[in-house]
């Protein structure tokens, strides 16, 4: 993790962070329109920002992240969400254990994105939503290879389509 969980979560309180996260969340919920009380696994949950937002609209949420400091921080922010330290390549959940899975700008840090997406399809009954860092976005040129984005994979349309085609 490039920054502390506290530093990462503070970004969401900045005007830019609020604007971006608000638009991302609106798009994520519109893509799948989850019903209240549906179950959702947030893969690569980090600080739990999006997990908390999904919980706030009535979903039953679990978050998974490989970084123990992030999991501890996320758990300290929300008692009603279950957070687990784990690997997206081998999700520690039963087949069909959730209605939905999300992965919001964390797929780019997962070594084998295809394996992670297959695992999300394994545990999701209704669908998954991928929030990726897109190579053709306006963010790519100024951020690629810098700071927290130094080791980030920026996906292109072909990678996103390939991930979608993995659907069972």
Complete domains list, the chain, with CATH? 5-165 (3.40.50.150)
**What's the CA gap between 56 and 59, in Å, rounded?**
7
Q: What is the pLDDT of residue 124?
A: 95
Contact criterion met (CB below 8 Å) for 97 and 68:
no
pTM for the full model? Answer: 0.76
Report, as an integer, the average pLDDT of 113-141: 74
Report, as an integer, the average pLDDT of 52-81: 93
Q: What is the pLDDT of residues 90-122, one digit of tens each?
A: 999 999 999 999 888 777 777 888 888 889 999
Asked whether the predicted pLDDT for residue 158 surpasses 80, the reply is: no
Confidence bin at 133 (pLDDT 50/70/90): low
H/E element, 76: helix 68-77
Q: What is the pLDDT of residue 71?
A: 95
For 100, which DSSP code? E
Q: What is the pLDDT of residues 16-38, one digit of tens each?
A: 777 777 777 777 776 666 677 89
Helix (H/G/I), strand (E/B), else coil: 58 = coil
The chain-wide mean pLDDT, for the chain, equals 78
Burial 41-62 (b: 16+ CB within 10 A, else e): bbbbbbbbbbbbbbbeeebbbb
Q: What is the pLDDT of residues 50-63, one digit of tens each?
A: 999 999 989 999 99
β partners of residue 130: 103
| Comparison of pLDDT for 117 and 159, the residue scoring more | 117
Name the strands in the sheet holding 82-85, side by side, starting at the edge strand that comes first in the sequence.
82-85, 60-65, 39-43, 98-104, 124-131
At what angle are helices 49-56 and 15-32 packed, to 10 degrees? 60
| Comparison of pLDDT for 4 and 66, the residue scoring more | 66
Burial of 14 (0-12, 13-18, 19+ CB in 10 A): exposed
Q: What are phi and psi of 145, to 5 degrees?
A: 80, 5
H/E element, 98: strand 98-104
């Amino acid at each position: 993790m490039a920054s502390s969980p506290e530093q990462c979560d503070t970004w969401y309180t900045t005007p830019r962070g609020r604007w971006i996260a608000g638009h991302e969340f609106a798009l994520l919920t519109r893509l799948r329109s989850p019903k209240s009380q549906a179950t959702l696994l947030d893969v690569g949950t980090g600080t739990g920002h999006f997990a908390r937002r999904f919980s706030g609209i009535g979903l039953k949420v679990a978050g998974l992240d490989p970084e123990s400091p992030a999991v501890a921080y996320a758990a300290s922010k929300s008692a009603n969400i279950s957070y687990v330290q784990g690997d997206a390549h081998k999700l520690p959940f039963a087949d069909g254990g959730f209605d939905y899975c999300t992965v919001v700008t964390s797929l780019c840090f997962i070594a084998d994105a295809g394996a992670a997406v297959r695992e999300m399809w394994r545990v999701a009954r209704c669908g998954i939503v991928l929030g990726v860092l897109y190579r053709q976005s306006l963010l790519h040129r100024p951020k690629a290879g810098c700071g927290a984005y130094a080791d980030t994979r920026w996906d292109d349309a072909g990678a996103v389509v390939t991930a979608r085609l993995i659907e069972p």
